[in-house]
Amino acid sequence: MANLLITGGAGFIGSHTCLALLLAGHRLVVLDNFANSRPEALRRVAELAALEPLQARGCGDWATADQRLLVHQGDVRARQDLDPLFAAEPIDGVLHFAGLKAVAESIAQPLAYWDVNVAGSVCLLQAMAAGGCRTLVFSSSATLYGHPEQVPIPEEAPIRPINPYGQTKAAVEQLLADVAASQPAWRIARLRYFNPVAAHPSGRLGEDPHGMPSNIFPLISQVAMGLRPVLEVFGSDWPTADGTGVRDYIHVMDLAEGHSATLALLLAEAPQLLTLNLGSGQGHSVLDLVNAFAAASGQPIPIRLSARRAGDSAASIADPGAAERRLGWRTRRGLAEICRDGWAWQQANPQGYGA
């Protein structure tokens, strides 16, 4: 059992990973400012982990009665929010999900992205160093490969981000390499996610972004539900089989299990800097995804083809071989399960956690 700090634990990937970590026996302290999530997500994590009733601790903070899940509202850019967490108890490791993630928004608001993603990571690392914690799992992204020269993409492929979001992920990856080189005690994993989608199969946990979703899966779900009239598909002239972009979609529960396996490796092995792609190794076009979702939901999904979007690429598929070799992990859920679980979440929660 490890005592873990989860930044951004109320978000899409963070909440599913919190559940996987609780079920693996760990104790969690979550820090989230709820900029893109709702506290209800963590209440449902507690419910799915069968934890005892909740106790308020003031200022929006709460904990389960057995203290296995503690929730603090706070900001990764604020030492006054971070330092008390490290002072209160020894933290064995940090999983750092907190960040901003929308490519188009990052082009419009680069300062916000450099502030939250990069300055937030610097602040977290400073607090970790001061608090004596040197184990970190960082949420990186396949977006830093830009327009890849080859697919599937191995970890050794050149880092050439093509948008400010990707630039911030590349900058934090470099920061982590510098930190690891400066002191051999650090145990750091940089996990490059491909396209996380779907939801917990219970229909109780899922993706609930604030405002207009920035990625395709929640948009498809909302069109299937009749909440939006049409799905806009950006780019139908990419050099791919059907002209739409090809992505490596990974079920969020596979991703959550990948984090659990990574943490176990970091805690068991000698200190190291580990860099892994987390993806399925399978590519599906936007039209493949739309057709699979229409089949899973039994609903029509009208589409409108539009021009390519700035900052997008034709194809992005992981070479997941290193993750399989190092973690003994690979994705277990395919496109049909992805669409089934995403649809179950959308149907049960048409307004997300806000309903």
Ligand X SMILES: NC(=O)c1ccc[n+]([C@@H]2O[C@H](COP(=O)([O-])OP(=O)(O)OC[C@H]3O[C@@H](n4cnc5c(N)ncnc54)[C@H](O)[C@@H]3O)[C@@H](O)[C@H]2O)c1
Which residues contact ligand X (rule: CB under 6 A)? 7-8, 10-14, 31-37, 75-77, 97-99, 101, 116, 120, 139, 141, 193, 195-196, 215
Residue 150's contacts (CB-CB under 8 Å, 6 or more residues apart) are 157
Specify whether 353 is catalytic.
no
Catalytic residue among 113, 165, 249, 353: 165
* C-alpha span between 282 and 233 (Å, rounded): 20
Give the strands of the sheet with 27-32, arranged side by side. 54-58, 61-64, 69-73, 27-32, 3-7, 93-96, 135-141, 187-193, 273-278
Residue 267's contacts (CB-CB under 8 Å, 6 or more residues apart) are 2, 92, 93, 135, 187
**Strand segments (E) across 211-252:** 231-234, 246-247, 249-251
Q: Exposure string (b/e) for 125-150, b if CB count within 10 Å is 16 or more?
A: bebbeebebbbbbbbbbbbbbbebee
- Closest distance of CB 103 from ligand X, Å: 10
* C-alpha span between 95 and 6 (Å, rounded): 5
* C-alpha span between 287 and 234 (Å, rounded): 11
Are 33 and 73 in contact by the 8 Å Cβ rule? The answer is: yes
* C-alpha span between 253 and 48 (Å, rounded): 13
Distance, C-alpha 166 to centroid of its chain: 14
Which run of H or of E encompasses 41? helix 40-48
Give the catalytic positions in this structure. Answer: 165
